Chains A and B, each alone.
Chain A
Amino acid sequence: MSALQLAAYTTSTGEAFQFWVLGTFAVIGALCTVLMRKAVHSALCLAGTMIILAVFYLANGAYFLGIVQIVVYTGAIMMLFLFVVMLVGVTAADSLKETIKGQRWLALACGVGFGVLLFAGIGNAALTEFAGTGRANANGNVEGLAALIFTKYVFAFEVTGALLITAAVGAMVLTHRERTERARTQREMAEQRIREGRHIPPLPAPGVYARHNAVDVAGLLPDGTPSELTVNKTLRERGQIRDVSAEALNDLRALEQRAAERLERTAIEPATFKRPEEASK
């Protein structure tokens, strides 16, 4: 093998450095995709891995694919995943209970075996040829791809168009839900509320007077306990209600304490505010 061939066969030191650094992160991202408990974290790790793969495409002379990878995969597909996670993931906790006994270890063994098989295959393959993309990209990467797509692969390209339209229609059909009954009007809902007599006035607003006006802060009832009714149902299901009932009372108690210290009225007992159930203990 001549020196020229050898030079073409090995990449530059810069690319080697890039490969080892980014490749490590790509593998870590892939592992996190598999191992993270929450689907959102998995999606973010996968997006990171895809961006690193885009850099690898660019390094391999596939300039068009590198940009398409970022635009289509990390831009469109992963954001679609995040939207679905937002729609679905609120109550979807991944169960850790094994339904098939020993499935996890069997799957791991299968994965390792498959990986060994792949690595052995690549190691034994006769990968001596290495041309580089210099000649193929001579007239520009995009121009070269376009020339191929619109001549040699033009039929596949047209079929792709049909596939995309079918997919779009399919997604619309799958997610479309036909209303089986008429939506109730506001008047009917009001009448039903009156008939049931359960909660006639509008629901109380969240927030604590003059202290917190955030929607996740439950309003306090006269006895100081938070009212679940004031907070949105979704926040209630997620368990994201902030309870400030104790906080407000503690603030007041601290204020009393400070006032007492400032005025040096230690003789007088600072007022204690206790909830009814605390007081009864």
Chain B
Amino acid sequence: MNPVNYLYLAALLFTIGATGVLIRRNAIVVFMCVELMLNACNLAFVVFSRMHGNLDGQIIAFFTMVVAAAEVVVGLAIIVSLFRTRHSASVDDASLMKL
């Protein structure tokens, strides 16, 4: 098997995640789709690292994970505070700037 197949898998997962972000309305599920896209990128980085024979790609994937962890914490806090004020986790209900 050619290792390029890993890249195709990463592209497929990224596409599925992007489509999910566009289709889904629940903020939590949209957020999970973003996580899926980040994971697909990480897979591509790891495979590139293997292709080029150095560890720089793995370092970038590691930093992506750290940033993703920070992003999840803040994003979920935003979702929780939105839910408190609007009693809904739907992204459509957050169309107005103010309550």
Contacts and interface: CB of A to CB of B under 8 A. Distances in A.
Contacts, number: 247
A85 B27 CA distance: 10
A171 B77 contact: yes
A117 B43 CA distance: 19
Contact of B28 (A10, A84, A95): A84
A162 B1 CA distance: 42
23 contacts: A20-B1, A27-B13, A33-B32, A34-B23, A64-B62, A65-B46, A68-B65, A73-B68, A81-B72, A88-B79, A104-B23, A111-B18, A115-B11, A122-B11, A129-B52, A132-B53, A133-B53, A137-B55, A153-B63, A167-B73, A171-B73, A174-B74, A175-B81
B55 A136 contact: yes
Contact of B13 (A30, A127, A131, A156): A30
B22 A94 contact: no
- Of B1, B55, B81, the most chain A CB neighbours within 10 A belong to B55
Interface in A1-38: 9-11, 15-16, 19-20, 23, 26-27, 30-31, 33-34
B94 interface: no
Interface in A135-152: 135-137, 141, 144-145, 148-149
Interface of A: 9-11, 15-16, 19-20, 23, 26-27, 30-31, 33-34, 39, 42-43, 46, 49-50, 53, 56-57, 60-62, 64-65, 68-69, 72-73, 76-77, 80-81, 84-85, 87-89, 91-92, 94-95, 99, 103-104, 107-108, 110-112, 114-115, 118-119, 122, 127, 129-137, 141, 144-145, 148-149, 153, 156, 160, 163-164, 166-168, 170-171, 174-175, 177
Given A108-B19, A130-B3, A168-B73, A69 B80 contact: no
A227 B70 CA distance: 47
A99 B85 CA distance: 22
A145 B29 contact: no
Contacts of B31: 81
Interface in B49-66: 49-56, 58-59, 61-63, 65-66
B65 A81 contact: no
A89 B83 CA distance: 10
A60 B93 CA distance: 43
Nearest to B83: A88
Nearest to B5: A19
A148 B26 contact: no
Contact of A94 (B4, B19, B26, B56): B26
A59 B49 CA distance: 12
Contact of A175 (B68, B77, B89): B77
A9 B65 CA distance: 28
A29 B14 CA distance: 13
Given A62-B61, A175-B81, A31 B29 contact: no
A57 B52 contact: no
